Structure 1
Amino acid sequence: MSNQSANTPETGSENSFTPATDINAGRPVAGEAAARAVNLHKSYGQGDTTVTALDHVNVEFEARKFTAIMGPSGSGKSTLMHCMAGLDTATSGSAFIGDTDLSTLRDKEMTALRRDRLGFIFQSFNLVPTLTAAENITLPTDIAGRKVDQNWFEEVTSRLGLTDRLKHRPAELSGGQQQRVACARALVSRPDIIFGDEPTGNLDSNSSAEVLNILRTAVDKDDQTVVIVTHDARAASYADRVIFLADGRVVNEILDPKIDDILAAMTGIEDVK
């Protein structure tokens, strides 16, 4: 599944769908796993052309913490996040959001879970060009047929410095402002987890720091859970924990990471390869 298609907001007849199972049950609290992979395996191709992207990964992402996923190119870091977020399907094993096993969900249930319980921030912003910033921010909530919490909307957009930009369309915003709109969109719906795939990849250093501070504040102030994939040691240093992948396996982790420690860990992985 390509990033472009996977990251487009869910639309269509699912708005009125009521899943057979309660996918909102079992929301995690601090100290519990907001998401976890159990023996997660992902491969592409068959026979001699088989490529293993994830090699039976077991990992947990703690609720109300900020986790960064790092690794060399082709290590499986984006594949892991996409499988955990229901944007791609694992070959075997299970990905859980709270107590919900994604492998047991039908397509419409998966759509509802992504819409109602997950927030997404991606490198390419993925804003709808014909909508204003305010309309982009509330789009997932509007699609779900829920009422926007106006007080929370105003707090988030004010905190992110968007109050004077809400009537602007994406083409009228800088890259940093567009990514702040994407952050607001993820925060306004109060998801269980915010997933970010290289969320600072298209930003300059100042805008990158703004976005990372937004995510850090969401964890510290709003009890949000954040998981990002990044190649940038400075971005990863904002996290509570960094896990490192190589050849589809978790090979290391650092708690309370510092930039020098992250760089040393990455160098060690590259040297082994």
Structure 2
Amino acid sequence: MTPHAPPPIGQAAVAAVDLVKVYGSGDTAVRALDGVSVGFGRAEFTAIMGSSGSGKSTLMHCLAGLDTATSGRVLLGGTELTGQSDRTLTRARRDRIGFVFQAFNLLPQLTAAQNITLPLDLAGREPDRDLLAHLVDVLGLGQRLGHRPSELSGGQQQRVALARALVSRPEVVFADEPTGNLDSRSGAEVLAILRDSVRDLGQTVVMVTHDPIAAAYADRVVLLADGRVAGEIDAPNQGSVTDALRELAVPA
């Protein structure tokens, strides 16, 4: 593990500065984040890892504007999200952030094509047809665009979710255990697509995972323990991630 050294805020696609998140109050208060400062570089694939209760999901939710920090700052590019109104946060999530979840979160009544373009439709924006065609081709969805989620496999549903996250060219894609409901082959395909989106599209991806195999697809791993940054791994592989987790006494 290398010592934690947050990159300069101005160079980060998204960053936390002295971030604190406390749930509850008094004797029952839980300090989920305890002064986290970390930046996530542009056009990089970063995995966040840690044991259950380490704060990894809370950190991602605060960075993505899905949860509000108790104190500290969250910056999306040069924009401070901390303290913004619900309307402003909703607009930022819609226009500047992409999401990929373990449970896919597709609307069952819409076709794959309609699910892919839904965020843009809600924003009143036309999709970039060249990018849309490229994503459909790369994700192998050409024969599935008219199908509803119930007619797709889990891997195909997650590919639709990936296309939805990428088609608007967001500044950051947040992926929360994106392979958790997939078999190993489909999971590997999804991770390769995320990695390729960084290389080919200049996308920034921040992924929460518990899986060293998944983390090995990233450029960098940020390790959390007890709500604090506990270390980082550059150019991770399965072995280096497993060793680092063992150092932290985190079951791999």
- Whether TM-score is above 0.5 comes out as yes
SS for the counterpart of 1:252 is: strand
Written as runs of structure 1 = structure 2, the 5 A alignment for 1:70-89 is 70-89=49-68
1:231 to 187, 197, 210: 210
Counterpart CA distance in 1 for 2:83 and 2:71 is 12
1:160 to 115, 123, 139: 139
Identity value in percent: 61
The residue type equivalent to 1:148 in the other structure is P
Q: CA deviation at 1:228?
A: 0.3
Written as runs of structure 1 = structure 2, the 5 A alignment for 1:1-273 is 32-270=11-249
Q: CA deviation at 1:179?
A: 0.2
The residue type equivalent to 2:105 in the other structure is N
TM-score, scaled relative to structure 2: 0.94
Counterpart CA distance in 1 for 2:249 and 2:36 is 20
Segments ≥4 residues shifted beyond 2 Å: none
The residue type equivalent to 1:101 in the other structure is E
User: How many residues get paired?
Assistant: 242
Unmatched 5+ stretches in structure 2? 1-9
Q: CA deviation at 1:185?
A: 0.2
Counterpart CA distance in 2 for 1:151 and 1:70 is 35
Unmatched 5+ stretches in structure 1? 1-30
TM-score, scaled relative to structure 1: 0.87
SS for the counterpart of 1:74 is: coil
The residue type equivalent to 1:55 in the other structure is D
Q: Deviation per CA, 1:184-208, whole angstroms, max 9, x where unpaired? A: 0001010000000100111000000
Counterpart CA distance in 1 for 2:20 and 2:188 is 34
SS for the counterpart of 2:186 is: helix
Q: CA deviation at 1:66?
A: 0.3
